[in-house]
Structure 1
Amino acid sequence: MTADMILFNGDKTALQSGYFGNEMKKALPKLAPEKARAGRSLSALTWSMLGRIEGGPLHHHMVCFSDDYGREFDQLFRQKAVPHDPTVYLCAQDRSLSDDQPTHSNNAHGSERLFCLINAPANGDQKTYDEEEIKGCEERMRRRLEACGLELNNPQWVETTSPQDFAALYPATGGALYGPVSHGWRASFQRPGVKTACPGLYLAGGSVHPGPGVPMAALSGLMAAKALIRDHEGRDLTSP
């Protein structure tokens, strides 16, 4: 299949690393592998499950912060390790944004859908997270919840995703979930724009301007669509 116009919403590093062929490597400035690895944002370890949280109150979105935020990020970025005391994001998916009670429970034991996330280094293409290590990370996650007065009981159907899983899903990223790091006020402006050196190839997503996160990724898609339409003004874009 051939196309005159392509909107690419994968990670930009996949283009620069040649995953789409040598010709596509010319779309963006050359990026050395070691520099690409050094400039990665964070990955994560996540747990999706049915379970019961005791303690509270508990809302739809909650963040249980590490006691030493500086040490956590030193371990993540300098030591390239999962923090000993990680910050935990918890989403109680059956609870509304304003109510601390679940809208429904999944069984007679009161289990509800829960999603937990801790930050991890984006080294999923260099490190294997085996069952023992993931279990240790889960214990750290539980300890942080308990330190905030929340106890996770009776987890069922637990689905774990590690940096190596994210690396497999998003080639050339090592599992980085947010494109390049966003350190400093200039970071957003150092990301590539929606147009590339390859005619007809446009970029969108969290690895390009203006940056990661659903709102900004959506903005990049809007900017790319506008650029595509503007560059092909007068052409029928509704048919092959």
Structure 2
Amino acid sequence: MKKIAVIPARYSASRFPGKLMQQLGNKTVIRMTYDNVVATNLFDDVFVVTDSEIIYNEIISNHGKAIMSIKNHETGSDRIAEAVENIDCDIILNVQGDEPFVNYKALSDILSSFDGEIGKTVDVATLKESITKDEDINNSNFVKVVTDYNDFALYFSRSPIPFSREINFTPKYFRHIGIYAFRKDALLRFSKLTMRQNETAEKLEQLRYLEYGMKIKVIETESIGIGIDTPEDLEKAKIYLRSIAK
């Protein structure tokens, strides 16, 4: 199977505009994300897809590959679908531009979801990590996911799920990590479907796949570092980067 990685990158993020061009160590956030994905050597090609000339020029000027979006899009998946429609590939891995600490193991694990007999039933694969702090479980910027016994997604939410009603039982909570791998045909199908209630309410594009009956495999992984949604996250990422550089 031919595998490519695509990094959707908007400049005007609602919670932290311009976050991808913030400095993290000696690189911008988007360049660190791109370089780390390329360094895994898991892909036949890696692209940044953006509607911003600033981000496009940042990647191109540093010898990377970037594609300018032609249309306005509601979601990163829609932007990727436009970019890859005429690219020869079987699996497209989507790394969010604000996840600069992606590593080989996490990406290798997600790609392995398409192997074997069960892998043939997978439309989309993604990652989760265990969270235990109440502040994380109740943080609406930390998307939670619940899965069935085969690790297929049942639901994603900004709310704490499952709801803990039984005082003598503490459920496990998992944060969804916004890295996806798609079969190309599933991604192109997604881009032609209309947004339904759950996606509209939660503003989570992965719910569109579930609402239309597609199957999302969710692989547990160890932490991949700090995702950057807010200025506070950026400061945490700088501390984390210094800690792993020692």
TM more than 0.5: no
Q: Which has the larger radius of gyration?
A: 1
Whose relative contact order is higher, 1 or 2, with alpha carbons under 8 Å and at least 6 apart?
Answer: 1
Query: Quick check: which one's helix share is greater?
Result: 2
TM-score (norm 2): 0.27
